Structure 1
Amino acid sequence: MSRTVKSARSQHSTQRRKVRGDLASAALELFATKGYEATTVDEIAATAGVARRTFFRHFRSKEEAIFPDHDDTLERVEAVLRGAPAQENPIDTVCRGIKEVMRMYAASPSLSVARYRLTREVPALREREIASVSRYERLFTRYLLARYDDHSHLGDEPLLAEVAASAVVTAHNHVLRRWLRSDGQGDVESALDHAFTIVRRAFGDLPSAAGQRPPAARATTDGEVLVTVARTDAPLPEVMRAIERALDQRG
């Protein structure tokens, strides 16, 4: 590919991100001041300084407009999975992948906090957010299923892949919510790394397609799935201690 073509594509991508960002900011501002139901697509486009047809080139609906980065982030996550070293623990790869999502939120703390507050108030926006998150979970489930040994757990590989993917996403979302509730303050990446340490202890020893057990995780009984219960508003240290106690009792 020539430098000219690469440069043109880069400029197009930059312009696309700018327009999507402007539309997202306009939508968020109008939703906060006028209310979600009272805001129209035409008003969002006008506030962003673009035509109505431009809005629909970037978003299918007004609720989609305040989540402008998920498509690009999903591509970056997929790139992490595709480029993972063959011998890397699949759980480690998935944890690295979802860090791209956290970085998306952490790149604009004030915007992320404002969006979080708004999604708590508007069911349609909350549903849109859930749909966006589910895309990552499905991607991770497919990746893990492809990496696990066939018949290593008596046909339970699909279940284990889905549960492990859900654990990574849940750990990420728990840390993210706590960070957003604290107005985007604190070292969110360190908190995320700590949460992933617990996930790795529970799922990091599942056999991969390469037929090797990652040495960092403690071996557990084949086919065993750890289940523990905690309040959704429980502090992260409390959740981690509950999981650690369950692991200790099991070992």
Structure 2
Amino acid sequence: MGLFLADGYEATTIQDIAEACGVSRSSVFRYWGSKAEIVWAVFDVHTKRLGTLLAADDSGDETMTIVRHWVVENMRMSTVDSSLYMERFAVLDSTPELRSEESAHWISWAGAVAAFVAARHGFAESAVVPQSIGGAVQAAFLTVLRQWLEVRDPASGSLMPAIDSALRPLCSLLQHWLDEPDRYR
């Protein structure tokens, strides 16, 4: 990440990465299939953990309260796990080569939310309601990340309250949608 931040994603080669890590080029490819995978891997771990946290929740809270809680908490965990999480996001979000792969990764993130909603409310995972909820939550989350990078000091620690603040009214509205019995099945 240091190389990508200092030199730019496009200018950083696999050989540069191997030399910085003190390993051979083939060793880099043993762990990652491409340069893009190096950057996306942490995002994919974040997404998988979100799905796990949602599925394991047994709090009894309303569905969208659980979603909001775990989206915020998972982001907090991701920033604790990697002090460069938001810098990695900035590289992902601003590099055309990486943005071409963005859709599949964000669909997976939204899918973690949709799977939880579907399981909790008896919808097919591909149904309109869970997919729409996953997409809406993902869109709000992504928008907050982008805005936060533009206007805030990444070291300020204000990201989690910003995510929570953006998700609170959205999740409340989406909960009302979920509470309408059988209307959208």
For structure 2, the 5+ residue unaligned runs are none
Q: Which has the higher contact order (CA 8 A, sep 6+)?
A: 2
Note closer, same or farther for the CA distance 1:174–1:115 as it changes in structure 2 (3 Å cut).
closer
Alignment of 1:34-113 (within 5 A): 35-85=8-58, 87-103=60-76, 106-107=79-80, 112-113=86-87
**1:170 paired to 2:139:** yes
Q: Is the 8 A contact 1:25 1:66 kept in 2?
A: no
> Percent identity between the aligned chains?
26
Query: What residue number does 1:146 align with?
Result: 119
- Per-residue displacement from partner, 1:57-77 (whole Å, max 9, x unpaired)? 322111221234223323321
| Alignment match of 1:197 (pick from 152, 168, 174) | 168
- After TM superposition, the score normalised by the length of structure 1 is 0.60
C-alpha distance in 2 between matches for 1:118 and 1:162: 24
C-alpha distance in 2 between matches for 1:166 and 1:104: 22
For structure 1, the 5+ residue unaligned runs are 1-23, 208-212, 214-218, 224-251
Note closer, same or farther for the CA distance 1:39–1:110 as it changes in structure 2 (3 Å cut).
closer
- After TM superposition, the score normalised by the length of structure 2 is 0.78
Which structure features the higher share of helix residues? 2
**Larger Cα-atom Rg:** 1
Q: 1:189: Cα distance to partner?
A: 1.4
Q: 1:162: Cα distance to partner?
A: 0.9
C-alpha distance in 2 between matches for 1:117 and 1:45: 19
